[in-house]
Structures are given as structure tokens and as C-alpha cells.
Amino acid sequence: MVRGFTLDDTVRRTIFANIDTLTTALTFLLQLFGVSIFLRRGGVGLTLAILPAIYFVGFLGFAVSPVLGSVVIFEILRRGVGYGVASPSRELLFTVVSAEEKYKSKACIDTLVYRGGDAAAAQLFPLLMEFLSVARIALLAAPLCLVWIALARILGRDVSELSGDPAVTADGESGHAP
């Protein structure tokens, strides 16, 4: 999309530099202020559900308006919330398992899930683009985000139960005071 917007290398580098700068600023602010507020007020499950909710809205945005501006906004939000909220929240999932389970599962997740997912997406997306528009691909991806949100809520509930946190109710909602 950036190449379609401009062929000028300087303009393209400026776009990517601005995305990186804004992503870094958002990540910093979210790690400094946001993640602790989200965890205290919403618990682990709701905090983990923020990133897939952003993906869901982003994919719907692509479906309606697959233009460079929506890509830039989505990329900044996706990366900023991913690094600033989702990553620290995801680490909380490992606080309720043994060190051995933690290191074995993290190696599997990092290798199979992240790297394998990236590789699969890199192969699948061009194939899908042969048959579908970006808007249609986004519409196909959006429901997967709802599954991701449900899984985040379930993981949050399970972590809360395993940690023995008495401030968490049976449905996984946080009872923490604001």
C-alpha cells in the first residue's frame, strides 16, 4: 500500500519512520500507565482481550476503507498495544506454572506459534490475494479475532483461579478496586 501511495523512497521511509516513532511513544505510555490500570480494573482476561479487539476493529476498518491511512493507524495501534499491553499481560500467564513448564511452553510458543504463524501468513496472504481483495480477507479474519477474545477471557479466568486471587469472581471478572 505504501508503494502504491508513493514511489519516492524518502517519503516511504518517512512514513515507516513515523509509524515506528508513534509506535514507540504509544508503547512507552501504555507500559508506563496503561497496562497497570487495565490489569487492576479489568483483570488479566480483559487486558489480554484488548489486542484482539484492536485487530477486530482494524480488520473491519480495512473492510470498509482499505487505504493507507487505515493501515498506518492500525499498524501503530496493533504494535503499540501489542508491545505495551499484550506482551506484559501475556507474561502473567506464566506466573502460575512451574519454571520447567514456563520455559518449555515459551520455547514452543516462540518457535511454533509466532515463527510458524508468521511463515504461514507470509505464504497464505499472497495466495489469498490471488482470489480475494484486502477487504474480503479482512472480513474473513475478523471472526477469528472474536475467537481470540474468547480465548483471552478464558486464559485470564484460568490464571486468576490458579493464582488463588480472591478478588476474582467465578466468571473471571476482576473485583479489584480501581
Q: Helices in the chain by DSSP H: which ranges?
A: 2-5, 9-29, 35-64, 68-81, 87-92, 99-108, 116-131, 134-163
pLDDT reported for residue 5: 81
The pLDDT of residue 178 is above 60? no
pLDDT in tens, 29-84: 999 999 999 999 999 999 999 999 999 999 999 899 888 898 899 999 999 999 99
Helix axes 116-131, 134-163, angle to 10 degrees: 150
Grid coordinates of 102: 514456563
pLDDT reported for residue 74: 93
pLDDT reported for residue 165: 66
Which of 1.10.3720.10, 3.40.1480.10, 3.40.640.10, 1.20.1250.20 is the CATH number of 2-163? 1.20.1250.20
Return d(Cα 76, Cα 25) in angstroms, integer.
Answer: 10
pLDDT in tens, 8-37: 889 999 999 999 999 999 999 999 999 999
Please check whether residue 120 is in contact with residue 27, taking contact to mean a CB–CB distance below 8 angstroms: no
pLDDT in tens, 85-144: 999 999 988 888 888 888 888 888 888 888 998 899 899 988 998 999 888 999 999 999
Return d(Cα 177, Cα 141) in angstroms, integer.
Answer: 36
pLDDT reported for residue 148: 96
Return d(Cα 131, Cα 126) in angstroms, integer.
Answer: 9
pLDDT reported for residue 151: 96
pLDDT reported for residue 113: 87
Return d(Cα 146, Cα 138) in angstroms, integer.
Answer: 13
pLDDT reported for residue 27: 97
Return d(Cα 81, Cα 97) in angstroms, integer.
Answer: 25
Return d(Cα 125, Cα 128) in angstroms, integer.
Answer: 5
- Residue ranges per structural domain of the chain: 2-163
